[in-house]
Amino acid sequence: MLDKKTPLFAQTHDYVSIFPARVLRHEPDVGLSTLFFAGGELRVPLVDAAVGAAIEVEIDARDVSLALSRPMDVSILNRLPAEIVELDFLPPPFTRASLSLGGARIDALITHESVERLALVEGLSAWAMIKAVAISGRTLDPDEAPFPRHWPSSDRTNRARR
């Protein structure tokens, strides 16, 4: 077990991405809530916040893994398209991969071996698989979290037929 006083623990526990999110919906029957953030949607265990509330989420880089193709047969619910924007080679065995998820940026802590085996480079498209999301408990103003885009509905009944 990793002792929290060891240098290895010290080098890996500081990479946490923190950003605002908005509660989109609750599904008590499955025990999940859906949150919207600048990089997409996250499915998390039910949160104690009203639909529409602005909350702060935290993602530890140790809870993020990468795939080069869209992961389908995995139990991880949160799989988002990403671009690798930076690779920071830390003392072995770790590399911090900084990922752009569109409007948000998160870090993944992976091994040097994974970087080599997958031939990861900056600019490469990948899939971020997020195993765990923490809710910080910090209260946010409603305007601090992004709103999802509302797409216009297609009203086929009003279209002229020719």
Q: pLDDT truncated to tens, each residue of the chain (162 aa)?
A: 445 555 554 555 689 999 999 999 999 999 999 999 999 999 999 999 999 999 999 999 999 999 999 999 999 999 999 999 999 999 999 999 999 999 999 999 999 999 999 999 999 999 999 999 999 988 799 899 998 877 676 655 555 544
pLDDT at 109 (0 to 100): 98
Q: Which residue has the tokens 């950003």?
A: 19
Question: Tell me, what's the pLDDT at 13?
Answer: 62
Instruction: Note the pLDDT of residue 20.
Output: 97
pTM comes to 0.83
Residue 108: which H helix or E strand, with range? Answer: strand 105-111
What's the pLDDT score for residue 31? 98
Residue 161: the pLDDT is 47
Beta partners for 41? 36
**Domain extents for the chain?**
11-142
3-state secondary structure of 80: strand
CATH topology of domain 11-142: OB fold (Dihydrolipoamide Acetyltransferase, E2P) (2.40.50)
Q: φ and ψ at 100, to 5 degrees? A: -95, 125
Query: Percent of the chain beyond pLDDT 90?
Result: 77
- Looking at residue 16, what is its pLDDT? 97
**Residue 72 CB neighbours (<10 A):** 7
Torsion angle of C-alpha atoms 151, 157, 160, 162, degrees rounded to 10: 120
Instruction: Quickly count: other Cβ atoms within 10 Å of residue 74's Cβ.
Output: 12
